[in-house]
Amino acid sequence: MVKKVGVAILGLGVVGGGTYQTLVEHHDFYLKTQRVDITVESVLDLNLERLKALGVPDECIAKSIEEVLANPNVDIVIETIGGIGVAKTFVTAALRDGKTVVTSNKELICKYSHELEKIAKHNRCGLYYEASCVGGVPIIRTLLDGVQANTITRMMGIVNGTTNYILTKMTYEGANYADVLKEAQKLGYAEANPTADVDGFDSMYKLSILSSMAFHTKIPYTKIFREGISKIDIKDIEYGKELGYTLKLLAIGKNEGKGIEVRVHPTLIPNSHPLASVNDSFNAVYLTGDAVDDIMLYGRGAGALPTASAVVSDVIYAATHSEIKYSTFKNNATADSSVKFISDFTSAYYIRLSVADKAGVLAKISGIFAKCGMSIVEIAQKGKSEVIANGESRVPLVVITHKTSENKVKSAVAKINATDIADVEAVIRVEE
Amino acid sequence: MVKKVGVAILGLGVVGGGTYQTLVEHHDFYLKTQRVDITVESVLDLNLERLKALGVPDECIAKSIEEVLANPNVDIVIETIGGIGVAKTFVTAALRDGKTVVTSNKELICKYSHELEKIAKHNRCGLYYEASCVGGVPIIRTLLDGVQANTITRMMGIVNGTTNYILTKMTYEGANYADVLKEAQKLGYAEANPTADVDGFDSMYKLSILSSMAFHTKIPYTKIFREGISKIDIKDIEYGKELGYTLKLLAIGKNEGKGIEVRVHPTLIPNSHPLASVNDSFNAVYLTGDAVDDIMLYGRGAGALPTASAVVSDVIYAATHSEIKYSTFKNNATADSSVKFISDFTSAYYIRLSVADKAGVLAKISGIFAKCGMSIVEIAQKGKSEVIANGESRVPLVVITHKTSENKVKSAVAKINATDIADVEAVIRVEE
């Protein structure tokens, strides 16, 4: 009745350490509630101090991946190293050996799931990666087994905790980007080199994985439009607030019939939208399906124990289900050629301009928008007139457009910047 | 590679009709994305007009449950009749026949899962009931396969759409209970006899099912404290707002080490709590696990298509997984005798009194609370003094307590009501 399962953990940093701790502390609980006897049989990490601090028994400490894989008691290999160097080599070796792999590695899955799933399938073992996206939130299980009855038309997610922490601080404390980033780095919420988070790479990898599952077709990350938060001016958060919007870095996937659009960028959403109140390092994914309508999953997107919750959930799932769900989309590195991707996507826009403080300017600006085929919901002068370098008086002007296309906006921006009466200082997409 | 699955649907009302429509419209989609060929082989409903309107082919219409079960093409029986009369008889017969059953029937599962699971187990078939709780939100799948690595310590849910609609209207439009109920009945959001919803029975059934799964032990509905919303005074919603709280009907389960407490009652929660912004007929369940920390699932708790999403999700799950997860708790109608239930639960409280408008009253009231061992966070006079029947001047007083016990509150309320200077007019529990 009880199933015995031996696991190995590769890399015992934050997530791997949390996973070790969770498995050890819950051993009897899983035995009782899941009827699985899960034991950690082998661990691999260069940092022996770390293993000592975790209390790993000496006999479990392996010296090489070969030693781990040679251990006949190891059924499942957990990879929590990260990156696509040694992690890829080890995962490939484990799958070739017929071991089921559970990983928290978003970059690896985003870039190589096609290759790794092929090996897993060939060797009849599983490849699970719930922990690669949105920490402890069971979004992958939900896509596979919870909303699989639906055609998913839209997905909007706050999938990066660091940027959400920064934007929350900017929004509620009025602090500017550089200061909040510094503070986040001091607190360990942001890396010394924050690029992966603040420039949207992390969100992009996760969107590639989640949208591939939601839309049942491979969405290579190269198809994803990406814009980070490092150029966000506190002014735009303030003006957004005044207009009833909250600024979030969203990962957006849409498949509404005309093709697929995938993008990561700062986005203004109405304050009443459930995503608008997802604050600090919390994450959430908001999905729309043709039967279920809107649903949202909310929780901690990172951290040792929340991510361990997802890793161990996969281990238990692998141990208690014999069917392995491989991707149903073609296992290619590149997109299915029959799928159309929309790069000239449609959105409403928030545009902030600095305009000359004189008569006739508003008419001229409105005229340019109209000529470009854009219609305007709201136009408002913000703040006071300021004298700029050439002695001219300038005033901030905020425009909210109806839904229009990215290309039309680009063309209007170029036309406005070519005049001597106005400059576009910020363009932010708006979603409902 | 493709698995053929024939289903029967018993009862084609709102949910059954939505299920039929979802299965028919998505046939090719499930074939492609799930590799299952699901066909509706048989339907049973007394109302033939309904079947015609749905476009059910004549050859699929059965005249009796015997005819449905005799059909060799039927692998899975979907029960969307509701109640515990004929639905129980039909589900029992189907399971005895070795057919896997998928049901949306919360009352049936709450009251008879012990009996039905025994039959299912004996006949090696499945019993699935995702649709019985919180419509399209995959909360049962999440408990079974998404957060199963956690010891769940707390669950708080808005699991009834009708009462949430009523409370939302009262909160944001200032309308009183009776008027909003009437409007909800007119719109079809509330039944002509609204008791099951407004008195908390529906929430109680769902809490029994969900807390049994979360805490891995049978929680009979008879152990659940239940209080509805029909006595909610708009005043308490207003005063709550002024204090930073939102009123919701919550289904609460806690298992924090000292025993299990389960209760359904109107609750004030801080405006910043994610559940506070779950409005209208939306539902949500907020869970706390020892690894994952807080997570929330949000979506439509009712309606034809959202509930069909859950029904069909179970059908696909049953068709694509050979392992059947029966409850791990003992399959008894009653609770495991080793489990301790806490009836004298701990909570903070909002207490509204009508007190005599004269010197010394506040001291006397405070003295009674102190004598009962309760400590007070906040005490505030609200509104103006009013003359009551006996010519006395009375003024509303609102008290927020620190965490205390239900029994202490009862005793303080009795003592206050025994004085001639104050009456307790409302007692509402407060959760963080």
Q: Say if the Cβ atoms of B299 and A295 lie within 8 Å.
A: yes
In a domain, B279, yes or no: yes
**pLDDT digit string, tens, across residues A237-277:** 999 999 999 999 999 999 998 999 999 999 999 999 999 99
CA gap B247, B276 in Å, rounded: 8
CB neighbours (10 Å) of residue B178?
9
Domain boundary among A63, A98, A132: A132
Residue-by-residue DSSP string for A122-164: HTT--EE-GGGSSTTS-HHHIIIIISTTS-EEEEEEE--HHHH
Q: Does B154 touch chain A (CB under 8 A)?
A: no
The last residue of a domain, from among A132, A159, A193: A132
Q: Do A305 and B325 touch (CB under 8 A)?
A: no
**Res. A328: pLDDT tops 90:** no
Tokens 């049962």 identify what position?
B140
Gyration radius of chain A over CA positions: 24
* CB-CB contact of A8 with A81 (8 Å): no
Residue/partner pairs of B25-34 with CB below 8 Å, 24 or more apart: B26/A149, B26/A151, B26/B312, B29/A151, B30/A149, B30/B316, B31/B2, B32/A216, B32/A328, B33/A148, B33/A216, B33/A328, B34/A148, B34/A328, B34/B316, B34/B319, B34/B320
**3-state secondary structure labels for all residues of B284-299:** EEEEEECCCEEEEEEE
Beta-strand runs (E) in A331-392? 346-356, 376-381, 386-387
For residue B412, which phi and psi values (nearest 5 degrees)?
-65, -40
ipTM comes to 0.94
Out of B99, B106, B169, B206, the active site residue is: B206
- Region of B181 on the Ramachandran plot (φ > 0 left; ψ -120 to 50 alpha; else beta): alpha
Q: Within a 10 A sphere around the Cβ of A196, how many other Cβ atoms?
A: 18
Structure tokens at A214: 């939601």
**What pLDDT is recorded for position A332?**
66
Burial degree of A346 (CB within 10 A; 0-12, 13-18, 19+): middle
Catalytic residue check, B206:
yes
CB B210 within 8 A of CB B216: no
Last residue of a domain, one of A300, A323, A354: A300
Mark whether A107 and A162 lie in a shared domain.
Answer: no
Closest of A9, A79, A6 to residue A51, by C-alpha:
A9
pLDDT above 70 as % of chain A? 99
Contact indicator for A149, B313 with CB cutoff of 8 Å: yes
Q: Which of B292, B298, B357 is nearest to B153 (CA)?
A: B292
In a domain, B340, yes or no: no
**What average pLDDT score do residues A64-77 get?**
98
Residues A117 and A162 in one domain: no
Q: List the one residue out of B327, B372, B321 whose CA is nearest residue B351.
A: B372
Instruction: Quote the strand ranges of A163-308, DSSP E.
Output: 225-226, 245-255, 260-270, 282-289, 293-300
CATH number for position B246: 3.30.360.10
Dihedrals phi, psi of A293, to nearest 5 degrees: 65, -140
Same-domain pairing of B85 and B145: no
pLDDT for B108-141, tens place per residue? 999 999 999 999 999 999 999 999 999 999 999 9
Task: Give the distance between the most distant pair of CA atoms in chain A.
Answer: 83
Contacts of B33 in chain A (CB under 8 A): 148, 216, 328
Question: Do the domain assignments include residue B230?
Answer: yes
> Quick check: B211 and B264 in contact, CB under 8 A?
no
Q: What does pTM read for this prediction?
A: 0.95
Render the burial of A287-325: b for 16+ CB within 10 Å, e for the rest.
Answer: bbbbbbbbbbbbbbbbbbbbbbbbbbbbbbbbbbbeeeb
Residue A294, strand partner residues: A288
Query: Tell me, what amino acid is at A136?
Result: G
Q: Is B105 left (phi over 0), alpha (psi -120 to 50) or beta?
A: beta
For residue A172, give the amino acid letter. Y
Residue A161 lies in a domain: yes
Nearest to A306 by CA among A136, A138, A189, A129: A136
Q: Are the C-beta atoms of residues B425 and B416 closer than 8 Å to each other?
A: no
Task: Please say if the pLDDT value at position A44 is more than 70.
Answer: yes
Q: Which domain holds residue A272?
A: 139-300
Task: State whether B298 and A22 contact (CB < 8 Å).
Answer: no
Burial of residue A202, with CB atoms counted within 10 A of its CB: 0-12 exposed, 13-18 middle, 19 or more buried? buried
Give strand pairing partners of B399. B351, B379
Mean pLDDT taken over chain A: 95
The verdict on A189 and A279 lying in the same domain is yes
Domain check: are B126 and B143 in the same one? no
Residue B205: is it exposed, middle or buried by C-beta count within 10 angstroms (0-12/13-18/19+)? Answer: buried
Residues of A in contact with B338 (CB under 8 A): none
Rounded CA separation B420/B356 (Å): 8
A216 touches chain B (CB under 8 A): yes
Residue A153 covered by a domain: yes
Domain assignment present for residue A222? The answer is yes
What is the pLDDT, as a whole number, of residue B117? 93
Do the Cβ atoms of B216 and A33 come within 8 Å? yes
Per-residue pLDDT band at A383 (split at 50, 70, 90) = confident
A191 and A125: one domain?
no
Per the listing, tokens 């959105």 go with A347
A278 and A406 fall within a common domain: no
pLDDT digits (tens, 9 = 90+) for A343-378: 898 999 999 999 999 889 999 999 999 999 999 999
Instruction: Note whether B293 and B369 are same-domain residues.
Output: no
pLDDT band of A288, cuts 50, 70, 90: very high
Burial code (b: 16+ CB inside 10 Å, e: under 16) for A389-427 equals eeeeebbbbbbbbeebbbebbebbbebbeeeebbbbebb
Instruction: Name which of A18, A26, A295 is nearest B298 (Cβ-Cβ).
Output: A295
Query: Around Cβ A80, how many Cβ atoms within 10 Å?
Result: 26
Residue B127, token pair as written in the block: 């019993």
Half-sphere exposure of A206 (CA within 13 A, CB side): 32
Cβ–Cβ below 8 Å for A35 and B328: yes
- C-alpha separations of A210 from A120, A132, A154 in Å: 20, 10, 11
The active-site residue out of A111, A206, A248, A254 is: A206
Nearest 5°: phi and psi at B18? -60, -35
A338 and B CB contact within 8 Å: no
Same-domain check for residues A21 and A120: yes
DSSP letters, A293-314, are EEEEEEEE-SSHHHHHHHHHHH
- Helix, strand, or coil (residue B401): strand
Which of A150, A298, A312 lies nearest to residue B309, judging by beta carbons? A150
User: B335: closest CA among B258, B286, B262, B407?
Assistant: B262
Q: How far is CA B132 from CA B138, B229, B301, in A?
A: 11, 22, 10
Unique residue bearing structure tokens 């908001």: A286
Residues A224 and A128 in one domain: no
Q: What CATH number is attached to the domain comprising A21?
A: 3.40.50.720
Query: CATH number, domain at A409?
Result: 3.30.70.260
Residue B159 contacts residue B134 (beta carbons within 8 Å)? yes
Examine the domain organization and report whether B48 and B68 are in the same domain.
yes
Residue ranges in chain B whose pLDDT is less than 70: 328-333
Q: Among candidates B130, B129, B137, B128, which has minimal Cα distance to B161?
A: B137
- Is there a contact between B12 and B20 (Cβ–Cβ < 8 Å)? yes
Residues of A in contact with B300 (CB under 8 A): 292-295
Q: How many structural domains comprise chain B?
A: 3
To the nearest whole Å, the CA of B99 is away from the closest chain A CA by 21
Does any domain span residue B382? yes
Cα separation, A211 vs A253, in Å, equals: 6
pLDDT of residue B248: 98
In a domain, B330, yes or no: no
Q: Are residues B106 and B208 in the same domain?
A: no
- pLDDT greater than 90 at residue A424: yes
Q: Judge whether B28 is closer than 8 Å to chain A, CB to CB.
A: no
